[in-house]
Amino acid sequence: MFLSYVGIRVTDLERSVRFYQEILGLKVVRSGDFSLNGGGKYVLLRDPMSGQRLELNWYPEGSKYATRYVPGEGLDHLGVKVESVAAKLEEFQAKGLEAVSIPDSLARQELGDTFTLHIGFVKDPDGNWIGLYDHPSGKAIYDPSEY
Residue at 68 is within a domain: no
pTM over 0.75, yes/no: yes
- Same-domain pairing of 26 and 81: no
- Same-domain pairing of 85 and 56: no
pLDDT for residue 138 = 54
- Of 36, 62, 88, the residue that ends a domain is 62
- Same-domain pairing of 89 and 147: yes
- Give the domain range for residue 11: 1-62
- Same-domain pairing of 97 and 44: no
Residue at 11 is within a domain: yes
Mean pLDDT within 80-84? 88
Q: What type of residue is 92?
A: F
Three-class DSSP category at 86: helix
Give the pLDDT confidence of 106-138 residue by residue, as tens digits. 888 777 777 777 889 999 999 889 999 886 665
- Same-domain pairing of 54 and 80: no
pLDDT for residue 72 = 67
Total count of domains within the chain: 2
Is residue 2 over pLDDT 80? no
Tell me how far CA of residue 60 lies from CA of 7, 14, 18, 70, 128, in angstroms: 17, 13, 19, 16, 20
Mean pLDDT within 40-63? 92
- Same-domain pairing of 80 and 126: yes
- Same-domain pairing of 116 and 88: yes
| Measured distance CA(73)–CA(10) in Å, rounded | 12
CATH code where residue 127 lies:
3.10.180.10
DSSP string of 22-48, one letter each residue: HTT--EEEEEEE-GGGT--EEEEEE-T
| Measured distance CA(143)–CA(131) in Å, rounded | 18
Mean pLDDT within 88-113? 87
Alpha helix (H) residue ranges in the chain: 13-22, 85-94, 104-107
